[in-house]
Amino acid sequence: MATKTKVKTYRNGEPINLEYHECDGCEVLYINGHKTHEAGCPFEWKDYKVECKNCDKLFYPEFDRQELCSNHCYADYWDLPCDCEFCIELELELQNEDC
């Protein structure tokens, strides 16, 4: 009899396929009753929040070693122009005040 694979998601919302354990990259360990990844698991980063280097907000990363929570924070951190809705509206308001 074939086993069914259940589709679940990591905490960052990315879907994963599970058969026997709750991680495709390692054997899940239970230490003092808490589920943990094995040391060196390639998917460990998906389950832990990271602090944004720009705004200090905690967020679940979308890719490994992600340090900034959004495109807006990326642009702000590196002093680049930003084209997000917030920045566009802010720029329009500033232009209207100058008139």
Per-residue pLDDT of the chain (99 residues; tens, 9 = 90+): 444 444 466 666 776 544 444 677 777 777 887 777 777 788 888 878 899 999 999 998 988 899 999 999 999 999 998 888 888 888 888 888 765
Q: Print the domain residue range for 18.
A: 1-48
Find the Cα–Cα–Cα–Cα dihedral 81, 86, 90, 92, rounded to 10°: 90
23: tokens are 């991680």
26, part of any domain: yes
**Under DSSP, is residue 40 helix (H, G, I), strand (E, B) or coil?**
coil
68, part of any domain: no
54, part of any domain: no
CA-to-CA distance for 75 and 86, rounded, in angstroms? 12
Given a contact cutoff of 8 angstroms between Cβ atoms, the answer to whether 68 and 74 are in contact is yes
40, part of any domain: yes
73, part of any domain: no
Number of domains in the chain: 1
Cα distances (Å, whole numbers) of residue 1 to 7, 22, 29: 19, 21, 27
27, part of any domain: yes
29, part of any domain: yes
CA-to-CA distance for 55 and 48, rounded, in angstroms? 18
Q: What is the predicted pLDDT for the residue at 11?
A: 67
Residue appearing with tokens 């602090």: 51
Given a contact cutoff of 8 angstroms between Cβ atoms, the answer to whether 43 and 37 are in contact is yes
